Amino acid sequence: MSALASQIITDAFRESNLIPVGTPPTSLENDEGLRRLNAIINSLISTACGELIFDWQIPPVATAPLYGQVSNPRDPYGQTSVVTTYPFPAINTRLLTQLTQSVTVYLPQYPNDGSRVAIADTGSGAGLTLTIDANGRKVEDAASVTLDPLTVGQREWFYRSDLANWVRRADLTVSDPQPFPSKYDDFLVTALAIRLSPRYAAEIADATAMTYRSTLAAFKAQYKQPTVTPDTFDIRSIQTRPRGYGGLGQFFAGGS
């Protein structure tokens, strides 16, 4: 099990020898450590862990007169179209809910480790529900969650493949476990120690900096999001162009 936030904070103070062995941080030190720990975790989401998310309307709603006729300049291949597939959001999406009836959506079947899904309501009707089905995995440790988006407003999850669970993102209390696998306890301890040390005029030890750098690299490597890039041409047609056609066709045909 991952370390509790209170243990991360205590270990961070010990890392820079700010408190003696066996002496817990004071109440004020705990408060400061918890604020900085939450800030560190929040800064990791979408940078070192996961990806920037894009909007996914549930259901598709637009007020522009040319809706459906104007292509998205950021998505020339149409792979994130939501007109007919809105109950099946892609990874790293923000579900913009404007419900006129209760809806069930199904989380991605093949999420990447660290993938994100969030919701933000843009004007759902009162009393309507959004059911989020984990699609064979778990979300908040259950097969599905049902919520009133008008009441909830905003919520976010990220996917932990080691638990097969979409974990709800929220600021930690001192009694909560840190949200990542336990192998990253040292990463958060050293990150927090580095963040706290200037406030106590403490020097960062080389061993602390080295552990931080190595664990940050491992953290980024685990949660890097693969991005599928569609082909812009059919390579087979290029390879079969006649000799002397020019360009790549000439190259593949063995021309010079």
Average pLDDT of the chain? 86
Tokens of 176: 């909560």
The pTM (predicted TM-score) of the whole model is 0.81
Burial 70-105 (b: 16+ CB within 10 A, else e): eeeeeeeeeeeebeeebeebbbbbbbbbbbeeebeb
For residue 197, what pLDDT is reported?
Answer: 95
Boundaries of every domain in the chain: 5-45+173-223, 54-168
For residue 246, what pLDDT is reported?
Answer: 45
Nearest to 192 by CA among 2, 17, 38, 31: 38
Contact residues for 102 (Cβ-Cβ < 8 A; gap 6+)? 128, 129, 130, 131
Contact residues for 197 (Cβ-Cβ < 8 A; gap 6+)? 16, 18, 203, 204
pLDDT digits (tens, 9 = 90+) for 113-142: 999 999 999 999 999 999 999 999 999 999
CA distances from 14 to 53, 104, 236, 240, 255 (A): 37, 48, 61, 67, 68
pLDDT digits (tens, 9 = 90+) for 30-74: 999 999 999 999 999 988 987 888 889 999 887 776 655 566 655
Burial of 22 (0-12, 13-18, 19+ CB in 10 A): exposed
User: Does residue 48 sit in helix, strand or coil?
Assistant: coil
Q: Among 62-71, 105-114, 212-221, where is mean pLDDT lowest?
A: 62-71
**226 — pLDDT class (breaks 50, 70, 90):** confident
**229 — pLDDT class (breaks 50, 70, 90):** low
Nearest to 45 by CA among 162, 167, 149, 195: 167
State the pairing for strand pair 130-133/103-106. Answer: parallel
* Of 16 and 235, the one with more pLDDT: 16
pLDDT of 244 strictly over 50: no
For residue 183, what pLDDT is reported?
Answer: 97
What distance in Å separates the CA atoms of residue 15 and residue 96, rounded to the nearest whole number?
A: 43
Query: What average pLDDT does this structure show over 76-97?
Result: 77
pLDDT of 168 strictly over 50: yes
Report the Cα–Cα distance between both ends of the chain, in Å, rounded. 62
Contact residues for 103 (Cβ-Cβ < 8 A; gap 6+)? 58, 59, 87, 97, 128, 129, 130, 131
Q: Among 1-15, 176-190, 235-249, where is mean pLDDT lowest?
A: 235-249
User: Does the domain spanning 54-168 belong to CATH 2.20.100?
Assistant: no
What distance in Å separates the CA atoms of residue 140 and residue 92, rounded to the nearest whole number?
A: 17
